[in-house]
Structure 1
Amino acid sequence: MRNNSIAFPLFGMGGGAFIPVFHFLYGEGPIRLVIMVFYLGLIGMDWIAGYRAAKIDGSYASEYGINGAFRTAFLLLMPAIGHLVDVILSMPDIAFGFLTIAFASHIWKSMTANVIRAGWGKWVPEWAMVRVSDELDHKVARARERIKRKTDMLNDEDKGA
């Protein structure tokens, strides 16, 4: 039988550090936790679908992934900024709610476009495809641009060798 006596205190210390930070950034209460888990889930699904789409169309580049990490940090900080504005102005979750809904809507649109690019469009309703068509067009154009840059770099390397 394994001795987990060290692992459990470490989990407790991690939770003990995380919870106050979470409460400071996003506020307290079970509703806040549910909202932020949903928000983080959207971001995670967008990453999964975007990664798969980029692998399929050959546009994956680590540079783009690094930029995505910064984008994710920004997306996670926006609801926190909203909460802090609410605290400073003594408002009842107005800025938090507005920023969270606005960015969640954008993430949902990005995720849906990535799902379509990944070839999983049969699970996306027609009305949703219409609503994300402009986002899909932009994503495809950016993917083509990344593919062109990768091809140009490979051609330049071949010429130099």
Structure 2
Amino acid sequence: MKTSIGIKNENLVKVAEVLIQTLADEFVLYTKTKKAHWNVEGADFYNKHLFFEMQYEQLDQIIDQLAERIRMLGHYAPATLREYLGLTHLSEHHLESNDSLTYMKELLSDHESIIIHLRENIENFAVEFHDAGTSDYITGLLETHEKMAWMLRSHLK
């Protein structure tokens, strides 16, 4: 059944495309954060193991909400690793070290990349695509990533 929520179909398609790429970014970041949780080593292991767990749990909620937002707009959310890797603008790296600082630097970089991507699209959603709901949703998501990035950045001082 066609989605009829006061937004032109071509605008729904454009919004969904951005949200789908964002979903891929979130899933890749989730996976990288889970890797940090599983593999971190060092004197600060226990604290960082718990810290990374807190962050990947937040990302898990973000992924679910974002996929549901895509569905609310009448589109399907991708759900395969192949799709995510083809859509994301993040990259996977083989880290040389499993210490918490190495993981935190990479995860911080990814959060900042997502923040920039979200910030670039907030106005487009509201003004160009006439979707204030997604603009508002993305603003909240941006703030969540800003807080997560702040937490990572604070560990790096």
Q: Normalised by the size of structure 1, how large is the TM-score?
A: 0.38
TM-score calculated relative to the size of structure 2: 0.38
Q: Which protein has the bigger helix share?
A: 1
- Work out which of the two has the higher radius of gyration on C-alpha atoms and give 1 or 2: 1
